[in-house]
Amino acid sequence: MKIFSDKDLKSEVTELNLGIVEAGESKDFTFYVKNDSNAELKNLNFAIEHKEVTMLEFPKSLIKYASAELKIKWFPSVTLKEGLKAKLLISGLELWE
């Protein structure tokens, strides 16, 4: 699975860069995930390793080579000078033909 910052799937990311959001504010982000395998992906679950970032929307399954939106919200309790970079955890089942 690959993650992209753009709908055209040209700018691949390995880490979610959420930039700077003022403490007490919130910001929604949209990324795009692509199943780059020849397997169908089922029972997908996405999580972020940060307690102030929540998953809003993600695909539960993806057929081979399909893509879908991944939406998250960041609600920081402090303003980070460097911004926030977070890792995305993905789990699910691969169904091979």
Q: What is the CATH number of the domain that holds 20?
A: 2.60.40
User: First vs last Cα of the chain: how many Å apart?
Assistant: 18
The strand pairing partners of 33, in sequence order, are 3, 68
**How many domains does the structure of the chain reveal?**
1
Please give the residue range of the domain that contains residue 43. Answer: 2-95
pTM: 0.89
For the segment 18-35, the average pLDDT, to the nearest whole number, is 94
For the segment 20-30, the average pLDDT, to the nearest whole number, is 93
In the predicted model, is pLDDT for residue 78 greater than 90?
no
The average confidence (pLDDT) of the chain is 93
Where do we find the tokens 């695909």? 59
Burial per residue of 45-82, b for 16 or more beta-carbon CB atoms within 10 angstroms, e otherwise: ebebebebbeeeebbeebeeeebeebebbbebeeeeee
For the segment 76-91, the average pLDDT, to the nearest whole number, is 87
Q: What is the pLDDT of residue 54?
A: 93
